[in-house]
Chains A and B, each alone.
Chain A
Amino acid sequence: MNVRIRNAETGGTVDMELEGENTVQEIIQGASAFWNKDDGAYVIRKGKRLLRGQQSVAQSGIADSDELELIPDPEGGA
């Protein structure tokens, strides 16, 4: 299946080819590598739901043509 990943910081998109056994964290790794993201943490959302990293594409209910968003997970506060 093919999904579209949106970069929450820039609005840019990239299409990603996935198998059911791929994991959400593989999507995060792939997308952050594509956009040369820094060493920070990231999460992925589908609609109003944050996807758990350990889940597979099949388990997380990702379907063909879905749009996912890669969001930086802010770590600072001091």
Chain B
Amino acid sequence: MTGTIRPGFIDEDRYDRSRRIAWLDVERVRRTKCLVVGVGALGNEVVKDLVLSGIQDITIVDMDQVVRSNLNRCVFFREGDAERSLAKVDVVAQRAMELAPDVRINSIEGKVEDIATEELVRFDVIFGCLDNIAARLHLNAQAGHVKVPYIDGGTDGFRGKVQVVLPPATPCLQCAMNQSHQRILERRFSCTGAEVVVHERKIAAEITTSSIIAAIQVREALKVISGRSEACIRHVEYYDGYQVRSECYELELDPDCPNHG
């Protein structure tokens, strides 16, 4: 092999160290289009990891504004953002683009339900970084319908979980639901179907668990993007940071699940 090099050339390539991972398809990663729904604790970390990994086309969705209680776990938010009640999507888009000038971030200030199913077809991977079961189930069903891989994260204090859904082959979030999830949904919705958030408990959250769960979500996405789905979590990984436990458990497809009809 011949060619011309100069001292220090190795450190001129932003992705040189990533390219040293044999299975990681950096060029494919750079061409990937990702949707991140929810840019709170998990969403901040997922976007940060996607941008640093080389993803250049990211759409983010969130309906909330930055508040001071977000600041214990959201790397992109500042005191001034909370004081000015800035939209989370605007702040994340601006700060994430500072990390990598070639990244394009399309921000949508709204609810997950505002995204038309047909719009999801353009994405290669969808991330659920949400804080409630209803929104998760909606996104899970939409992603399943258009057969786009869906990677869901959830946290509660020092506990977390990641589920990888590769439609139509693997069980989805709906397949794992039981009456304890149903009770939470029933508290959130009235009998007419209207949302009545009257009893929404504040869920414990801190940065170490948020960053670990988000990192697992992005790690699994990099496998999917690089054509290494066989190495992905089968099917749910539960993490307990207090007891220092992390284990994967298998799920069965629910034959009655509406997403697998």
Contacts and interface: CB of A to CB of B under 8 A. Distances in A.
Contact of B254 (A29, A52, A71): A52
Given A75-B131, A76-B205, A28 B249 contact: no
Interface string B38-49: 101111000000
Given A41-B181, A50-B176, A50-B249, A76 B204 contact: yes
B139 to A, nearest CB: 12
Contacts of B41: 76-78
B184 interface: yes
Nearest to A53: B178
Contacts of B160: 74
Given A45-B249, A49-B249, A73 B161 contact: yes
Contacts of B187: 39
B178 A52 contact: yes
A49 B236 CA distance: 10
Given A38-B201, A40-B156, A73-B161, A28 B131 contact: no
Most B CB contacts (10 A, CB to CB) among A40, A45, A52 go to A52
A76 B179 contact: no
Interface in B160-192: 160-161, 175-181, 183-184, 187
A34 B41 CA distance: 32
A53 B177 contact: yes
Contacts of B238: 71
B180 A25 contact: yes
Contacts of A78: 38, 40-42, 64, 129-131, 203, 205
A24 B154 CA distance: 22
B251 interface: yes
A77 B42 contact: yes
Contacts of A39: 183-184, 187, 199, 201
A3 interface: no
Interface residues of B, number: 47
B115 interface: no
B27 interface: no
A5 to B, nearest CB: 14
A72 B249 contact: no
A32 interface: yes
Contacts of A77: 38, 40-43, 128-131, 153-155, 205, 210, 213
A72 to B, nearest CB: 6
B252 interface: yes
Most A CB contacts (10 A, CB to CB) among B161, B183, B201, B238 go to B238
Contacts of B133: 41, 75
Q: Which 4 A-B pairs have the closest CB atoms?
A: A53-B178, A78-B40, A76-B203, A78-B131
18 contacts: A28-B180, A29-B179, A38-B201, A39-B184, A39-B187, A39-B201, A41-B178, A49-B251, A50-B236, A52-B252, A73-B176, A73-B180, A74-B155, A75-B133, A76-B154, A77-B43, A77-B154, A78-B131
Given A77-B42, A78-B42, 5 more contacts: A41-B181, A43-B178, A49-B252, A50-B251, A73-B161
